Chains A and B, each alone.
Chain A
């Protein structure tokens, strides 16, 4: 039983990085495909669209930081906390990267038809990023309470 609990601790420790990376892959791919489509329809400003497509990569970075914050010697006492915290923040990061990918794809579609709305069209993607930051910051705060 102890080994199962410690195994779950390992899962929780790596979950933020793994799930954040999965989310970033899918999010960047969705926004990137939309950017590639937009390149066929515009005559200039290609870098702008590719730049927007990279926005969902931040969730991977948050995942790396949370995994490093949770990194400690795993015991029966701290593994359940690490599992719960790591898994939930990982899921939040993954979902936010999926959603941000869609928001970026929509922003690219809108901005290529009306360049003057480029900045404001990124507002939904920035809002999604804000929720990812909440999950990230509070994971760091709560990780301090898990015994070492």
Chain B
């Protein structure tokens, strides 16, 4: 356990649940400064993991982005802290299960995106149980049924809420096991990311972003 965690955790404000938050209690710059009080290697691992799984970068990611998959594979050996590794794997599994739900909802099969199934240990399992409503993963990922139902209703807000809630709970549980340790710092950084993503919801910006993604896909063709 890093001794710097005591100082960092002492310097972080209370973070309300993302649905109750009215504003971010800490700016991105301040957050980076506070995390900078950890040893260099630990703060580097946090930002490496953040670049991989943060919700901030999620919009620009595409499932068929080879660079993104390569980055996953390159970053995983660099991220050595157990709490970070576990969260990155949790998000990876979540992204893979979500991609499977979306593909199936669009009437496509697992063969459409063959690379996705190789990055998560659940990939093969999902392919094998493609016709099962929750891919036989609901026990391990209790958020799956609710997200599947929201996707079926095409209720994007409810789907996002369920996904963020599952991440929030996972982080809260991990921080509770190590309240003054590195896991608590990791939980704060990614819960801050969740609050930031939730507060950044803006229909006008979403329309602009959608337009940009549409343009990108046209150029890709």
- Contact surface of A with B, Cβ cutoff 8 Å: 29-31, 33-38, 40-41, 102, 105-106, 108-109, 112-114
Contacts and interface: CB of A to CB of B under 8 A. Distances in A.
B11 interface: yes
A102 B180 contact: yes
Contacts of B180: 30, 34, 102, 105-106
Interface in B1-16: 3-4, 6-14
Given A102-B180, A106-B180, A37 B7 contact: yes
B26 to A, nearest CB: 9
Contact of B10 (A29, A108, A114): A108
Interface of B: 3-4, 6-14, 34, 37, 179-180
Contacts of A112: 10
A110 to B, nearest CB: 9
A33 B14 contact: no
A33 B12 contact: no
For A33, A106, A112, which residue has the most chain B Cβ atoms within 10 angstroms?
A: A33
A35 B9 CA distance: 10
A75 to B, nearest CB: 43
A38 B11 contact: yes
- CB-CB nearest 4 A-B residue pairs: A37-B10, A37-B11, A33-B6, A34-B10
B10 A35 contact: yes
For B9, B11, B37, which residue has the most chain A Cβ atoms within 10 angstroms?
A: B11
Given A30-B6, A33-B4, 6 more contacts: A34-B7, A34-B10, A37-B34, A38-B10, A102-B180, A105-B6
Contacts of A34: 6-7, 9-10, 180
Given A40-B34, A102-B180, A109 B7 contact: no
Contacts of A109: 9-10
Nearest to A103: B180
A74 to B, nearest CB: 38
Interface of A is mostly: helix
Given A102-B180, A105-B180, A106-B179, A40 B6 contact: no
A52 to B, nearest CB: 11
Contact of A41 (B3, B13, B37, B179): B13
Nearest to B37: A37
A56 B8 CA distance: 21
A34 B12 CA distance: 10
Contacts of B11: 37-38, 40-41
A30 B137 CA distance: 41
A10 B13 CA distance: 48
Contact of B3 (A33, A38, A106, A113): A33
B10 A41 contact: yes
B191 to A, nearest CB: 15
B195 to A, nearest CB: 15
Given A106-B179, A106-B180, A41 B6 contact: no
Contacts of B6: 30-31, 33-34, 37, 105
A105 to B, nearest CB: 5
Contacts of A29: 3
B3 to A, nearest CB: 7
